[in-house]
C-alpha cells in the first residue's frame, strides 16, 4: 500500500546541509494502523510530508498505492491526494471562510465522483457520522477545538480515501476530546479498511496503533507491532 | 527598559519589516504628490499673477469701451497726462489682412497702439528689437500665424482696409494674452496714428477702445475715482488688482477641486496604510509577546512599532512630495498657452511642508488603529499561539474610537489648513467625506448584491473565489475603494469630456455654414450677395444687426439701477451695461425654442408698440417677465418694446445667435450692419471668395469657420491631454493601496491555497480560484466607480454645462475591462508566493 525506499531529506541550514531523514525504508500494508513516534526534531513530520507527497525527498522514493511519487508532477501528486489520501492536522486547518459543511464538501468539489449534486448529501451524511449533523452551518470560529477536529476528520474521509495521514491530531485537544477523535479514526480503520499513518508523541495514542515506527535523529530506530493495538481497538 | 534602548531596539527590530512597512505607507505617496503638485502650481501661478498683474492688464488702471472714448473721457485722460500719469492707448478691431502681392487674405485682430504701448512688460519680436519701429514708420508687427496664413514673410507689405503696412517683425512673446484668445485671428499691431488710413474705424464698426494708465499714486484710489466720474460714459474701469483677483479666483477654484481629489487619494492611501499595517501587526504578535515576556510594558511595545510606522510614513510622504515637485515642474509646460501669465516654476516650501506633514500624519494616524491591537498582546502568547486571532479582533476599544475621531478631526484640520475660508474648508471636508461615503456605500451595496447572486450550482472555483470576498478580515472594502476611486476619476473625466466635445461636434455639424462675412454695411448687402452667388457659393443667412443698449426697464432708468448700490453686485449689472447686437425676423431658427409666451403673431399689435423675444437667462438677470416693457437706446433714439416671449438658445452652434430678437418693422430705420453666412465648396473656394470680397469691400471681414474649428480642436486636444494626465494619476493612485490590501491577506491566502493543494487541488485550480476572486473584486470595484462617475458626470453635464448628456458606453466598458484585468494581474502577481511554496513548508509555518 505504502512503501518508503531509502528516503533521505536534507535541508539547507545557513549554507550547511542538515540531514532531517536518512535512509528510511519500510512498507505499510493496506488496512494497517501505524503510529510514527519520536522526540521533537526527530523527523516525524518531515517523514509524513514525504509519504503524503507534500514535499519531495532529496533521495529515495515513496510508492503510494503502486505509484512512484517521484514520477509525478506537483499537480499530479495533488490529484492523487484528492483521490486516495485524507489528512488531519494538529491545528485542524479548516478554511475559515467556509461553514463546517462546506469544508467537508471541498474534497468532493475538487475531485467530483458522482457529479457535484451528490456532494452535499454525502458531506451531510459524513458530518452526521462524526456527530456534527446539527452544526453543519457553523463557521470554524464558532466550533470548539474537538468539533473542529471532527469536521477535519469528516473532511478527511468524505472522499473514501485509501489512506489517512494524521499529524498530531490530538495535540491541541484535551484528553477526553482527543480520545473521541482516536476512536473515530480507529473505527474508520476497522470498518472501511482505511490505512492510517499517524504521527504523535503521545504514547497513549501510539499504543492504540497496530504498529509503531520510532524515529530518532532522522532514522528509524524501532519498528514493532504493538500488542495493545488490537485490544485497544475493541474498547 | 529605558525609552532610549527602546528607540534603538525599534530601529534594529524594523530590519526585517522596513520594506513591508514602506509598501504600506507608500499608499499615501500619490495623494501627497497630488497635493504638493497642485498647491505648488497654484502658488506659482498666483505669484506670477501678482507679479504680472499690471502687465496682464496693460497698466495700473485700464479704461475700456466698445463705443470709442467720448470727448469727456479723452479730456479726462489729457488732464491725467498733464498731472504726470503716463497713458497708452489701443484700439482693437477685426479686419481682413490682405497680402497685395498674392491677394491672400486672413481675418486678423488689428491692434492700433500708441507710442507708449505697452506700459508694462515687453513685447519681444523676431528679428529682435523691431517693436520701436512702430513709433516711426507705417509698420506692422504680426503674430507668426498671419505669415503662415498669407504665405508671407517679414518685409512684405500687408493691406488693412485702405492702409498699407510693411511687416517689420513677428511677435515672439507678448504679455497678457493667452494663446486661445487668438481663435478669431492672428494679431496685427500697427501704429495708432496710421489707423485712420485704414478707413475701417467708421461709425458702427466693431471695435474695442482701451486706455491704459500708469500712475505714481495709488491705483485702487485712482480706479475708484475714475469709476465715479465716468459712470455715465459706458466705460469699464479696471485696476490691476481687479485683474489679479479674477485670475486668482479661477486658480483657487481649480486648486480646491484638485485638492479634494488629492485628499480623497490621501485618505484612500490611509486605508491602504491601515490594511498594510494590519498584516504587519499579525506578523509581529510573536515578537511583541516575547518583548512583553522580557519586561517591556504594553505602552513600550506600542511606542516601538508606532515609531517604526512614523519613520516609514515620513519616508513615504517625502517620496510623494518629491514626486509632487516633479509634476509641478512639468505642469507649466502642459498648461502653456492656456494661462495668461508666464509661470516660472519654483519650489514652494509652504506647499511642500504642508504636503509632507499632512501625508506623514495621515500615515501615522491610520497606522495607529491596527497598531493599537499590539497593546493587547499578552506575554502568554509565547506559550499559546491560538489566541492570535482574538488579539486582532479589537472590538470596541475606546482608544480605537479616539483614533477614529482624530482621523475625522484631521480631515477638517487639513481642509482648514489648505484654505483660509471656513466655508470653503467645510465644503472641501464635506466633499471628501461625501466622496468616500458614497464609494463605501456603493461598494457595500454591490458586494451585497454579488453575494446574493451566487448559486450553489456554479463551478466550485467561482464559488470559492467569491466566498473569499466575505472571509473574516477580508480586504474587499479597501480594494474596492481604491479601484472605485480610480474608475470614478477616469470615467467622470472621460464622460464629461465626451459629452461636451460631442456636443461641440454636433453643433459644428448641424450648421452647414463654412464662411461668415461680417461688418457688412446696409448699402453693401446686395453687392455682396451677388458676389457670393457668382462665385458658386450658397448664401445661407443674411442677418441684420442693430447695436443698442438698455435705457430703462419698466419705469426705472438703467443708469439709476446701476447706481443703486443695494442691488447685489453682479446681479443683472452686466446685462444692464451690455451693448446688445440685436436682430429682427419673423420666425425662429433651428437653434432656439420659445419656452414662455408666444412668438410674434402675423398681425402687429394694436397699440403699435414694438415687440421682442428675449433669451431666458438674460430675462432672468434683468428680472423681466413676458409682458414687461424695455426701453432701448438704439444709437441715440429710444425705442420701447414689449417682451412677448422668452427663448432657450443653443449658443454652441456656429450661427448668429441673439439675446433680443425684434418683430420686423420696429428697427427698419435704425442704422444696421449685416452678417452673411454662406457655404463654399471648400477651403480654397473660401480663400478665393475672401480675396474677391476684400478687393471690392475692404471693410468686410470674413472668416473660414474650418480655421476656427481647427484652433478649437487644438485647444481641446491640449485640455484632453491634461485630463488624461489626471485620469492616469487616478488609476495609478489605486495600485499601492491595492498592493497593501493584497499583502494584508497574503498569509491567510497562502495558508488556504496550501491547504487546498494538500486536499488535492492542482495549482491550476488554486489559480482559478484566485482569479475568480480578483476578477470579482476588479469588476465590482470598477463598476462602483463607473456607475458613480456616470451619475456625477450626468449632474455636471446637465446642471453645470447645461448640455444634453451623451451616455457613453464604449469608454466605461473599456475602463471596467481594463481595470478588471489590471486587478487580476496585480492580484496574481502579489500572491505568486502561493505557487512558489510546497505544501509542506507552509504547513510547518503556522
Cα B829–chain centre separation: 36
Confidence check: pLDDT of A235 > 50: no
Q: Which helix (H) or strand (E) holds B441?
A: helix B422-453
Residue position matching grid coordinates 480642436 = B713
pLDDT at residue A121 above 80?
A: yes
B572 pLDDT band, cuts 50/70/90, is low
What are residue B471's phi and psi, to 5 degrees?
-60, 155
pLDDT in the model for residue A5: 93
pLDDT the model gives residue B579: 82
Nearest chain B Cα to A115, which residue? B457
Separation of alpha carbons B43 and B36, rounded Å: 10
| Structure confidence at residue A226 as a pLDDT band (50, 70, 90) | confident
DSSP assignments along B11-74, one per residue: HHHGGGTHHHHHHHHGGGHHHHHHHHHHHHHHHHHHHHHHHHHHHHHTSSEEEEESS---HHHH
Beta-carbon count within 10 A of A100 CB: 28
The number of CA neighbours under 13 Å toward the Cβ of B171 is: 21
Instruction: Decide if pLDDT at B506 tops 60.
Output: no
Residue B165: C-alpha distances to residues A48, B186, B193 (Å): 100, 16, 12
Task: Write the DSSP string, B156-182.
Answer: -EEEETTEEEEEEEEEEE-TT--GGGG
Which residues of A fall within a CB distance of 8 Å from B844?
45
Query: pLDDT value at position B31?
Result: 82
Q: Is the Cβ pair B760, A74 closer than 8 Å?
A: no
pLDDT exceeds cutoff 80 at A104: yes
> Which residue in B468, B748, B759 is closest to A106 by CB distance?
B759
Nearest-angstrom CA–CA distance, B496 and B801: 9
Q: How many Cβ atoms from other residues are within 10 Å of residue B168's Cβ?
A: 21
Res. A234: pLDDT tops 50? no
pLDDT at residue B408 greater than cutoff 90: no
Q: How confident is the model at residue A227 (pLDDT cuts 50, 70, 90)?
A: low
B218, pLDDT greater than 70:
yes
**pTM (whole model) above 0.90:** no
Q: Which residue has the cell 482693437?
A: B92
Q: What is the mean pLDDT of residues A117-144?
A: 87
What is the spatial distance between Cα A44 and Cα B399, in angstroms, rounded to a whole number?
46
- Whether B838 and A55 lie within 8 Å, measured CB to CB: yes
Residue A144 carries which DSSP code? -
d(CA A98, nearest CA chain B) in Å: 8
* For residues A108-114, average pLDDT: 71
* B810-846 tens-digit pLDDT: 878 888 898 899 888 888 887 777 777 777 776 665 4
CA-nearest of B747, B737, B721 to B822 is B737
Q: Which of B95, B93, B68 is nearest to B211 (CA)?
A: B68
- Ramachandran class of B95: left when φ > 0, alpha when ψ lies in -120 to 50, beta otherwise: beta
Q: Which residues contact A106 (CB under 8 A, 6 or more apart)?
A: A95, A98, A155, B756, B759
CB contacts of A111 in chain B (<8 Å) are 760
Mean pLDDT (chain B, rounded)? 81
Residue A111 pLDDT grade (very low, low, confident, very high; cuts 50, 70, 90): confident
Of B464, B758, B838, the CB nearest to A87: B758
Residues of B with CB under 8 A from a CB of A: 386, 389, 456-457, 460, 464, 467-468, 470-472, 474, 748, 751-752, 755-765, 838-841, 843-844, 846
Cell of B821: 484585468
| Kind and range of the H or E run holding B702 | strand B701-704
Q: Are B64 and B57 in contact (CB under 8 A)?
A: no
Residue B131's pLDDT band (cuts 50, 70, 90): very high
Q: Which residues contact B476 (CB under 8 A, 6 or more apart)?
A: B443, B447, B469, B470, B777
Distance from CA of B383 to the nearest CA of A (A): 13
Residue of chain A minimizing CA distance to B473:
A97
B19 confidence band (pLDDT: 50, 70, 90): confident
Answer yes or no: is pLDDT of B394 > 60.
no
Quick: pLDDT tens for B344-389.
788 889 889 989 999 999 999 988 888 888 888 777 666 655 444 5
Task: For chains A and B, count residue pairs whose Cβ atoms are closer than 8 Å.
Answer: 82
Which tens digits make up the pLDDT trace of A149-181? 999 999 988 888 899 999 888 888 888 888 988
pLDDT the model gives residue A128: 92
Contact B34, B334 (CB under 8 A): no
Q: Residue A233 has what pLDDT?
A: 36
Is B761 in Cβ contact with A49 (below 8 Å)? no
Beta carbons of A141 and B755 less than 8 Å apart: no
C-alpha cell at B658: 441673439
Provide the phi-psi class of B395: left if phi over 0, else alpha when psi is between -120 and 50, else beta: left
**Confidence (pLDDT) at A124:** 92
Band (A231; pLDDT cuts 50, 70, 90)? very low
pLDDT at B800: 65
Cα→Cα distances A21→A40, A88, A110, B300, Å: 13, 22, 32, 43
Cell of B471: 472571509
Find the residue in A nearest to B846 (Cα): A91
Return the closest-CA partner of residue A212 out of A38, A60, A7. Answer: A38
Q: How confident is the model at residue A203 (pLDDT cuts 50, 70, 90)?
A: confident
Is omega for the bond preceding B118 within 30 degrees of 0, making it cis? yes
Grid-cell match 501625508, residue found:
B359
Distance of alpha carbon A121 from alpha carbon A131, whole angstroms: 15
By the 8 A CB rule, do B617 and B530 touch?
no
Question: A153-167, A219-233, B782-796 — which one is most confidently predicted on average?
Answer: A153-167
Long-range contacts made by residues B226-230, C-beta under 8 angstroms, separation at least 24? Answer: B226/B61, B226/B63, B226/B76, B229/B76, B230/B63, B230/B72, B230/B73, B230/B76
Q: What are phi and psi of B337, to 5 degrees?
A: 90, -20
In the predicted model, what is the mean pLDDT of residues A40-68? 89
Q: Check if the beta carbon of residue A166 is closer than 8 Å to that of residue A88.
A: yes
pLDDT digits (tens, 9 = 90+) for B465-498: 777 777 665 667 777 777 787 777 777 777 766 6
Alpha-helical (H) ranges within chain A are 44-51, 74-84, 100-110, 119-129, 145-157, 175-192, 203-206, 228-234
For residue B686, pLDDT over 80 is answered with yes
Q: What is the pLDDT of residue B846?
A: 46
**Listed residue (A69, A62, A59) closest to A28, CA to CA:** A62
Averaged pLDDT for residues B740-751: 73
Give B661: exposed, middle or buried? Use CB within 10 Å, 0-12, 13-18, 19+: buried
Residue B621 CB coordination number (10 Å): 17
Distance CA B749, CA B479 (A): 15
What secondary structure does DSSP assign to B737-748, as a single string?
HHHHHHHHHHHH
List the grid coordinates of B433.
467625506
Name A64's bridge partners.
A2, A67
pLDDT for the residue numbered A230: 46
> Which residue of chain A is at minimal alpha-carbon distance from B838?
A55
Task: Considering only the C-alpha atoms of chain B, give the largest distance between any 2 of them, rounded to a whole number of Å.
Answer: 106
CA–CA separation, B616 and B625 (whole Å): 9
Average pLDDT over residues A79-102: 84
Collect all residues of chain A within an 8 Å Cβ-Cβ radius of residue B760.
Answer: 78-83, 85, 107, 110-111, 159
Residue A64 has, within 13 A of its CA and on its CB side, a CA count of 30
| Alpha-carbon span B511 to B505, nearest angstrom | 10
Which helix H or strand E contains B188, and what residues bound it?
strand B187-191
What pLDDT score does B645 carry?
94
Chain B interface, best mutation among A57, A110, A116, A199, by max B CB count within 10 A: A110
CB contact under 8 A, A55 and B840: yes
Tell me what pLDDT residue B501 has: 63
Contacts of B751 in chain A (CB under 8 A): 93
Interatomic CA distance for residues B111 and B192, integer angstroms: 8
Residue bearing cell 504587519: B280
| Closest C-alpha to B737, from B256, B277, B259 | B277
Which residues of chain A does B752 touch, with a Cβ-Cβ cutoff of 8 Å? 95
Burial B123-146 (b: 16+ CB within 10 A, else e): bebeeeebbebbeeebbbbbbebb
Q: Which residue has the higher pLDDT, B411 or B652?
A: B411
The answer on pLDDT for A185 being more than 80 is yes
Contact A172 B748 (CB under 8 A): no
Highest-scoring range by mean pLDDT, A82-91, B65-74, B374-383: A82-91
In this prediction, residue B527 has a pLDDT band, given cuts at 50, 70 and 90, of very high
Mutate to test the interface with B, among A53, A109, A111, A115 (most CBs of B within 10 A): A109
* Torsion region of B415: left, alpha or beta (phi above 0 gives left; psi -120 to 50 gives alpha): alpha
DSSP state of B386: G
Name which of B468, B748, B763 is nearest A75 (Cβ-Cβ): B763
Q: What percent of chain B has pLDDT over 70?
A: 85
pLDDT of res. B442? 73
pLDDT band at B204 (very low <50, low <70, confident <90, very high): low
User: Which residues, 6+ apart, have CB-to-CB distance to B607 below 8 Å?
Assistant: none
pLDDT for position B141:
94
pLDDT above 80 for B432: no
Q: In this structure, what C-alpha cell is assigned to residue B657?
A: 445667435
Q: How do residues B620-657 score in pLDDT, each as one tens digit?
A: 888 899 999 999 999 888 999 999 999 988 776 667 78
When pLDDT is averaged across residues B241-252 and rounded to a whole number, the result is 76
Question: ipTM, 2 decimals?
Answer: 0.77
Burial degree of B796 (CB within 10 A; 0-12, 13-18, 19+):
middle
pLDDT, tens digit, for every residue of B32-53?
A: 888 888 888 888 888 888 887 8
B764 contact residues in A (CB cutoff 8 A): 75
Residue of B nearest to A93 (CA): B755
Are residues B389 and A141, on separate chains, in Cβ contact within 8 Å? yes
Residues on chain B touching A80 (C-beta within 8 angstroms): 760
CA distance A100 to B155: 92
Amino acid at each position: 500500500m505504502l512503501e518508503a525506499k531509502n528516503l533521505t531529506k536534507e535541508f539547507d541550514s545557513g549554507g550547511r546541509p542538515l540531514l532531517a531523514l536518512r535512509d528510511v525504508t519500510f512498507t505499510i500494508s493496506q488496512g494497517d494502523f501505524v503510529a510514527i513516534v519520536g522526540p521533537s526534531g526527530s523527523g516525524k513530520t518531515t517523514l509524513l510530508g514525504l509519504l503524503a507527497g507534500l514535499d519531495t525527498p532529496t533521495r529515495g522514493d515513496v510508492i503510494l498505492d503502486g505509484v512512484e511519487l517521484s514520477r509525478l508532477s506537483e499537480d499530479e501528486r495533488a490529484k492523487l491526494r484528492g483521490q486516495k489520501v485524507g489528512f488531519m492536522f494538529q491545528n485542524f486547518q479548516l478554511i475559515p471562510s467556509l461553514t463546517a459543511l462546506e469544508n467537508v464538501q471541498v474534497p468532493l468539489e475538487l475531485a467530483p465522483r458522482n457529479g457535484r449534486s451528490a456532494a452535499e448529501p454525502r458531506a451531510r451524511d459524513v458530518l452526521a457520522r462524526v456527530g456534527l449533523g446539527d452544526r453543519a452551518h457553523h463557521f470554524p470560529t464558532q466550533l470548539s477545538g474537538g468539533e473542529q477536529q471532527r469536521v477535519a476528520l469528516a473532511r478527511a474521509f468524505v472522499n473514501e480515501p485509501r489512506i489517512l495521514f494524521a499529524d498530531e491530531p490530538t495535540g491541541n485537544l484535551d484528553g477526553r476530546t482527543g480520545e473521541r477523535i482516536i476512536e473515530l479514526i480507529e473505527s474508520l480503520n476497522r470498518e472501511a479498511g482505511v490505512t492510517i499513518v499517524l504521527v504523535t508523541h503521545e504514547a497513549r495514542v501510539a499504543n492504540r496503533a497496530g504498529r509503531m515506527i520510532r524515529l530518532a535523529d532522522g532514522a528509524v530506530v524501532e519498528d514493532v507491532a504493538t500488542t495493545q493495538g488490537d485490544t485497544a481497538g475493541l474498547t | 527598559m529605558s525609552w532610549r534602548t527602546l528607540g534603538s531596539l525599534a530601529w534594529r527590530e524594523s530590519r526585517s519589516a522596513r520594506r513591508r512597512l514602506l509598501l504600506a505607507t507608500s499608499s499615501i505617496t500619490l495623494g501627497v504628490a497630488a497635493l504638493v503638485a497642485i498647491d505648488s502650481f497654484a502658488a506659482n501661478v498666483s505669484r506670477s499673477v501678482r507679479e504680472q498683474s499690471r502687465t496682464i492688464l496693460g497698466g495700473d488702471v485700464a479704461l475700456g469701451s466698445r463705443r470709442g472714448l467720448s470727448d469727456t473721457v479723452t479730456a479726462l485722460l489729457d488732464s491725467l497726462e498733464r498731472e504726470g500719469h503716463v497713458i497708452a492707448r489701443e484700439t482693437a478691431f477685426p479686419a481682413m489682412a490682405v497680402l497685395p502681392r498674392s491677394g491672400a487674405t486672413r481675418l486678423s485682430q488689428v491692434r492700433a497702439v500708441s507710442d507708449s504701448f505697452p506700459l508694462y512688460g515687453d513685447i519681444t519680436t523676431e528679428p529682435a528689437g523691431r517693436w520701436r519701429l512702430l513709433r516711426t514708420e507705417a509698420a506692422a508687427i504680426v503674430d507668426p500665424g498671419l505669415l503662415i496664413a498669407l504665405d508671407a514673410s517679414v518685409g512684405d507689405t500687408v493691406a488693412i482696409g485702405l492702409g498699407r503696412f510693411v511687416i517689420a517683425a513677428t511677435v515672439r512673446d507678448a504679455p497678457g494674452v493667452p494663446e486661445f484668445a487668438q481663435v478669431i485671428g492672428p494679431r496685427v499691431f500697427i501704429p495708432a496714428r496710421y489707423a485712420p488710413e485704414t478707413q475701417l474705424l467708421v461709425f458702427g464698426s466693431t471695435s474695442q477702445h482701451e486706455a491704459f494708465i500708469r500712475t505714481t499714486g495709488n491705483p485702487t484710489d485712482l480706479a475708484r475715482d475714475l469709476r465715479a466720474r465716468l459712470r455715465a460714459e459706458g466705460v469699464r474701469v479696471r485696476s490691476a488688482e481687479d485683474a489679479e483677483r479674477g485670475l486668482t479666483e479661477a486658480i483657487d477654484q481649480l486648486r480646491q477641486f484638485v485638492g479634494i481629489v488629492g485628499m480623497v487619494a490621501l485618505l484612500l492611501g490611509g486605508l491602504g496604510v491601515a490594511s498594510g499595517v494590519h498584516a504587519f501587526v499579525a506578523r509581529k504578535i510573536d515578537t511583541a509577546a516575547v518583548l512583553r515576556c522580557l519586561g517591556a510594558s504594553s505602552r513600550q511595545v506600542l511606542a516601538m512599532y508606532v515609531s517604526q510606522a512614523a519613520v516609514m510614513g515620513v519616508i513615504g510622504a517625502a517620496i510623494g512630495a518629491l514626486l509632487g515637485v516633479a509634476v509641478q515642474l512639468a505642469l507649466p509646460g502642459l498648461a502653456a498657452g492656456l494661462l495668461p501669465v508666464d509661470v516660472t516654476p519654483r519650489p514652494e516650501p509652504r506647499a511642500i511642508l504642508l504636503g509632507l506633514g499632512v501625508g506623514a500624519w495621515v500615515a501615522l494616524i491610520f497606522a495607529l488603529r491596527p497598531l493599537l491591537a499590539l497593546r493587547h498582546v499578552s506575554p502568554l502568547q509565547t506559550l499559546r499561539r491560538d489566541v492570535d486571532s482574538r488579539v486582532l479582533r479589537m472590538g470596541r476599544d475606546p482608544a480605537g474610537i479616539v483614533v477614529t475621531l482624530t482621523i475625522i478631526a484631521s480631515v477638517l484640520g487639513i481642509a482648514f489648513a489648505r484654505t483660509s475660508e471656513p466655508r470653503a474648508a467645510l465644503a472641501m471636508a464635506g466633499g471628501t467625506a461625501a466622496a468616500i461615503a458614497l464609494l463605501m456605500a456603493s461598494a457595500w451595496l454591490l458586494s451585497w448584491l454579488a453575494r446574493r447572486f451566487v448559486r450553489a450550482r456554479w463551478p466550485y472555483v467561482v464559488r470559492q473565489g467569491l466566498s473569499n470576498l466575505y472571509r473574516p478580515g477580508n480586504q474587499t472594502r479597501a480594494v474596492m475603494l481604491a479601484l472605485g476611486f480610480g474608475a470614478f476619476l477616469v470615467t467622470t473625466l472621460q464622460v464629461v469630456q465626451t459629452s461636451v466635445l460631442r456636443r461641440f461636434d454636433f453643433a459644428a455639424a448641424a450648421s452647414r455654414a463654412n464662411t461668415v462675412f461680417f461688418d457688412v454695411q446696409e448699402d453693401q448687402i446686395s453687392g455682396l450677395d451677388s458676389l457670393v452667388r457668382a462665385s458658386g457659393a450658397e448664401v445661407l443667412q443674411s442677418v441684420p444687426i442693430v447695436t443698442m443698449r438698455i435705457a430703462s426697464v419698466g419705469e426705472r432708468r438703467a443708469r439709476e439701477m446701476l447706481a443703486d448700490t443695494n442691488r447685489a453686485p453682479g446681479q443683472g449689472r452686466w446685462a444692464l451695461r451690455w451693448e446688445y447686437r440685436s436682430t429682427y425676423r419673423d420666425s425662429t431658427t433651428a437653434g432656439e425654442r420659445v419656452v414662455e409666451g408666444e412668438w410674434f403673431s402675423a398681425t402687429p399689435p394694436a397699440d403699435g408698440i414694438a415687440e421682442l423675444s428675449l433669451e431666458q437667462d438674460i430675462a432672468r438677470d434683468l428680472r423681466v417677465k413676458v409682458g414687461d416693457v424695455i426701453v432701448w437706446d438704439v444709437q441715440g433714439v429710444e425705442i420701447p418694446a414689449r417682451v412677448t416671449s422668452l427663448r432657450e438658445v443653443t449658443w454652441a452652434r456656429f450661427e448668429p445667435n441673439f439675446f433680443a430678437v425684434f418683430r420686423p418693422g420696429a428697427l427698419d430705420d435704425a442704422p444696421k450692419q449685416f452678417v452673411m453666412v454662406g457655404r463654399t465648396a471648400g477651403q480654397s473656394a473660401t480663400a478665393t471668395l475672401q480675396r474677391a470680397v476684400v478687393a471690392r469691400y475692404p471693410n468686410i471681414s470674413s472668416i473660414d469657420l474650418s480655421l476656427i474649428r481647427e484652433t478649437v480642436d487644438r485647444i481641446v486636444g491640449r485640455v484632453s491631454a491634461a485630463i488624461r494626465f489626471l485620469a492616469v494619476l487616478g488609476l495609478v493612485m489605486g495600485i499601492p493601496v491595492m498592493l497593501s490590501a493584497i499583502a494584508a491577506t497574503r498569509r491567510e491566502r497562502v495558508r488556504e491555497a496550501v491547504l487546498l493543494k494538500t486536499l488535492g487541488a492542482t495549482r491550476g485550480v488554486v489559480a482559478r480560484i484566485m482569479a475568480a476572486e480578483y476578477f470579482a473584486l476588479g469588476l465590482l470595484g470598477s463598476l462602483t466607480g463607473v456607475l458613480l462617475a456616470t451619475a456625477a458626470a450626468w449632474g455636471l453635464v446637465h446642471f453645470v454645462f447645461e448640455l444634453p448628456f451623451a451616455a457613453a458606453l464604449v469608454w466605461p466598458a473599456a475602463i471596467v475591462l481594463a481595470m478588471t484585468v489590471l486587478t487580476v494581474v496585480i492580484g496574481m502577481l502579489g500572491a505568486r508566493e502561493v505557487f512558489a511554496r510546497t505544501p509542506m513548508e507552509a504547513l510547518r509555518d503556522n
